[in-house]
Amino acid sequence: DLQMTQSPSSVSASVGDRVTITCRANQDINNYVAWYQQKPGNGPELLIYASSPVQSGVSSRFSGSGSGTDFTLTISNFQPEDVATYYCQNYNTPPWTFGQGTKVEIK
């Protein structure tokens, strides 16, 4: 089965920092990657689809890149409301697996 390996598993950031989260697939999945944000007590919300387009309504501080097997989510100018767990997901072919998640906390 396809696996998505996310790193780091957790990170602490200061307000204004740039935060980078990576996701690696164990096979080529073209650009079929989405990124989600899950705040404590809430369900996931879509941030990025097709590796880089930002979902409508999502802050432009979020950006995505990558193709093939390596993908990146970047949070620019980190804000307190960005405290959350972030997940990547492959949707190339089923199973549409998620990464393990990256917990982002504030320093």
Partner 1 sequence: QVQLEQSGAEVKKPGSSVTVSCKASGVSFTSSVFSWVRQVPGQGLEWMGRVIPIVGVTNYAQKFQGRVTMTADKSTSTTYMTLSSLRSEDTAIYYCARAPGSARGYSDYWGLGTLVTVSS
Which CB sits closer to partner 1, 16 or 94?
Answer: 94
- Considering only 16-24, 37-45, 62-70, 75-83, which stretch makes contact with partner 1 by CB under 8 A? 37-45
Contact status: 50 vs partner 1 (CB under 8 A):
yes
- Considering only 18-26, 60-68, 70-78, 90-98, which stretch makes contact with partner 1 by CB under 8 A? 90-98
Contact status: 95 vs partner 1 (CB under 8 A):
yes
Asked if residues 95 and 1 have their Cβ atoms less than 8 Å apart, the reply is yes
What's the rounded Cα separation, in Å, for the pair 36 and 5? Answer: 15
DSSP annotation string for 11-61: EEE-TT--EEEEEEESS--TT-EEEEEE-TTS--EEEE-TTSPBPTTS-TT
Q: At 81, is the secondary structure helix, strand, or coil? A: helix
Contact status: 46 vs partner 1 (CB under 8 A):
yes
Which of 16, 43, 80, 107 binds partner 1 (CB under 8 A)? It is 43
Under the rule (CB under 8 A), what is the footprint of partner 1?
Answer: 1, 32, 34, 36, 38, 43-46, 49-50, 55, 85, 87, 89, 91, 94-101
